[in-house]
Structure 1
Amino acid sequence: MITVSICCLSYNHEPYLADAIESFLSQKTDFSFEVLIHDDASTDRSAAIIKEYEEKYPYIIKAMYQTENQYSQGVLVDLVNQARARGKYLAYCEGDDYWTDPTKLQRQVDYMEAHPECSMSVHAASTVSALKKKVLSDVRPSVGDRDLTVEELIEGGGEFVATNSILLAKEKIEPLPEFFHRAVVGDYPLVIYGGLQGAVHYMDRNMSAYRVGVSGSWTQRELATVEKKGAHMQEIARMLDEINEYTDYRYDRSIRVTKERNELHLLLEQGRVAEAKKGKYREQYNQLSLKKIILFRIKHSFPNVARLLKAIRWGVSA
């Protein structure tokens, strides 16, 4: 019997894929798990690397190889991949990220088994530079273990918890609601829905790494310009409105605050500081640190400098 299905999406992850797969295989558990890898027609050697592991571990690694890129056609590839999951629990990690603690799955499953009211378990993680794995920051929603509230999950945004920290109870989240299927992203609405279906428990233990500065990543493709960020923000706002309706407006304040914060950040990136300082944005603007305000101004007035500073910090070419 399979207890955990590890869902891994891969697209042109050749330099990183072995790290991800090895981190799955290194898990020390007293239960069985499977690794479901979906390769979305990679143009590098990703598929070949996956096949090597699949041949070596045929009872653990189950791969899907697309001949045409599905994501570009609007297909929700994460749902395609996890539809074949046989596990009681689902874990997530993309092919350019990896886990850092061999006890990760065991710890999360033990907690979930002891707390059936829990729909999802998450934990602390690190953001690291793409190739050198230099630790840049921590994704740490709280100090100490505790359950996270739905309000926190909404207001925290898509980066509040690391996607590769998620372990969820499959029966509690299936079938997924319509707002998930229409969403422009998958992890943010998934975490919110997990909170609506049961407790989301946070473990204050760092057990995974999220790479930044990966060439051709979703962030680089979809959020490369202020215009793209604006379009993305509108899609997130639409999704939040649908969640508001779905929950009969129980979280209206959190959704309103989150939408206004996103709008404020976009105004600052566009250099519209006067608008950002007044009206409904005034309170949140006054809460911004001086450092953050300066960074927004650099992004707008000196975009090349902003890119250079980010590249230096991440250890990649500008």
Structure 2
Amino acid sequence: MTNKPMVSIVCTSYNHGDYIAEAIDSFLMQKTNFEFEILIYDDASTDQSPRVIKQYENNYPSLIKPIYQTQNQYSKGVRVEMFNHNRASGKYIAVCEGDDYWTDPYKLQKQVDYMERHPACSMTVHAADRVLSDKKKVLSRVRPEERNAIFSVERVIEGGGDLIATNSMVYSKEKVKVLAPFYLNAVVGDYPLVILAALHGTVDYLDENMSAYRVGVKGSWTERELATSLKRINHYHDMEKMFDEINEYTEYRYNSALEKAKLGYRFSLLLEQGRFREAKHGEYRKIYLELGAKKRVLLEMKRYFPNVTESIRKARWKLIH
């Protein structure tokens, strides 16, 4: 073993006090033939997160290296992921947010072994469970393929933010060393990071389920940023801007895929605005038909019974929390 870690585990936390211990434990359980470091960034949490992290830091002072902010930087528009990315000293960077966790003790070893054998690979990802907050009920699985696969740039773009579980990502810092403007300006972090990795190497999917991704976490990014119709509408516009920036960055080599992705967000925007007739016709019809019968029925309910569907949505959030 060398003094320099092979992998830097980067973890961003904000008010994850109920979950951060499980995340750290899942890092510590990793069985590897190489060294790794655990970089935790706490963005001025107001719950017990800093205290929990401090306890682990005291127990593993050479392994766990936290940053404790006293003022929330995300609310100031700071790209908080950069704090860990910039100080990571590992050849590879493994990502896991403070409210998620890994389930396979050999996860890092498997991904690093693969990337060492495939030097063209800039990022490996894998399957994951979507679990319901602290109840851990499996709601669905993130499994884009039923076999190992290499995702093209087009597949990554068109697949959207739900194609890959964030806490499955391990990427090469050398290949993704310079973070492009479209990533730094984006309102999301994981989706443009995968696109950036695909532009500088291959994104390789390993068909093994090795992590759990929590949904319905109170105070999560989704709840804060997409809780109201206005916020969701602004988000769709922001994503379209990101696609335009990627188009310019890539000199329009992936224009077709980016325009298709933009069309999907415009479709979502029409639904959010209640413009259901437009969403079912013209260039949007194919997207509408691809939703499947169940989702189309729900959209028709939203169209003709908006108050009922909104009540169902609110009740679902209450049940989750």
Residue 254 of structure 1: how far off its partner (Å): 1.0
| Residues 267 and 279, structure 2, Cα contact 8 Å, conserved in 1 | yes
Aligned residues, how many?
Answer: 314
> Which deviates further from its counterpart, 269-278 or 4-13?
269-278
Instruction: Tell me which amino acid in the other structure corresponds to 2:219.
Output: G
Correspondence 1:228 to 2:231: yes
Residue 293 of structure 1: aligned partner? 296
CA–CA distance in structure 1, aligned partners of residues 222 and 291 of structure 2:
24
Q: Distance in 2 between matches of 1:195 and 1:179?
A: 14
Q: Distance in 2 between matches of 1:294 and 1:80?
A: 45
Q: Distance in 1 between matches of 2:251 and 2:129?
A: 35
Contact 2:233 2:272 in 1 (8 A): no
Matched, 1:307 2:307: no
Amino acid at match of 2:87: R
1:218 aligns with 2:221: yes
User: Is residue 257 of structure 2 the alignment partner of residue 257 of structure 1?
Assistant: no
Amino acid at match of 2:142: V
Partner in structure 2 of residue 30 of structure 1? 33
The CA RMSD measured in Å over matched residues stands at: 1.3
Alignment TM-score, normalising by the size of structure 2: 0.95
One-letter amino acid of the counterpart of residue 107, structure 2:
K
Structure 1 residues 127-172: Cα deviation after superposition (integer angstroms, max 9, x where no partner): 0010111110001111100111111100111121011000000000
- Runs of 4+ in structure 1 off by over 3 angstroms are 296-300, 309-312
For 2:302 and 2:20, locate their aligned partners in 1 and report how far apart those are by CA, in whole Å. Answer: 32
Greater alpha carbon shift after TM alignment, 25-34 vs 294-303: 294-303
Q: Does 1:176 find its partner at 2:179?
A: yes
Partner of 2:202: 199
What's 2:133 paired with? 130
CA–CA distance in structure 2, aligned partners of residues 159 and 131 of structure 1? 21
Q: In structure 1, how many angstroms separate the alpha carbons of the residues matched to 2:24 and 2:286?
A: 45
In 1, Cα distance between equivalents of 2:52 and 2:302: 38
Q: 1:159 is paired with a residue of what secondary structure?
A: coil
Identity of aligned residues (%): 56
Instruction: Identify the match of residue 52 of structure 2 among 49, 53, 66.
Output: 49
Structure 2 alignment gaps of length 5 or more: none
Any idea what SS the aligned residue of 1:188 has? Answer: helix
Asked if 1:118 is matched to 2:121, the reply is yes
Per the TM alignment, residue 226 of structure 1 is displaced from its structure 2 partner at its CA by: 1.8
After superposition, residues 83-98 of structure 1 pair within 5 angstroms as: 83-98=86-101
Q: Hey, what's the Cα distance between the residues in 1 that align with 2:108 and 2:213?
A: 17
Distance 1:62 1:6 in 2: 10
**Displacement of 1:211 after TM fit?**
0.4
Q: Which amino acid aligns with 1:36?
A: L
Map 1:133-152; keep pairs closer than 5 Å. Answer: 133-152=136-155
Q: Call closer, same or farther: CA 1:28–1:279 in 2, change over 3 Å.
A: same
Rounded Cα–Cα distance in structure 1 between residues aligned with 2:139 and 2:207: 18
Does the CA-based 8 Å contact 2:104-2:210 persist in structure 1?
yes
Cα distance, 1:271 vs. partner?
A: 2.3
How far apart are the structure 1 equivalents of 2:41 and 2:109?
24
Contact 1:35 1:61 in 2 (8 A): yes
Task: Tell me what 1:244 maps to.
Answer: 247
Distance in 2 (alpha carbons) for counterparts of 1:136 and 1:229: 23
Does the CA contact (< 8 Å) of 1:123 and 1:166 recur in 2?
A: yes
Per the alignment, do residues 270 and 293 of structure 1 end up closer, same or farther by CA in structure 2, a change over 3 Å counting?
farther
Confirm or deny that 1:100 pairs with 2:103.
yes
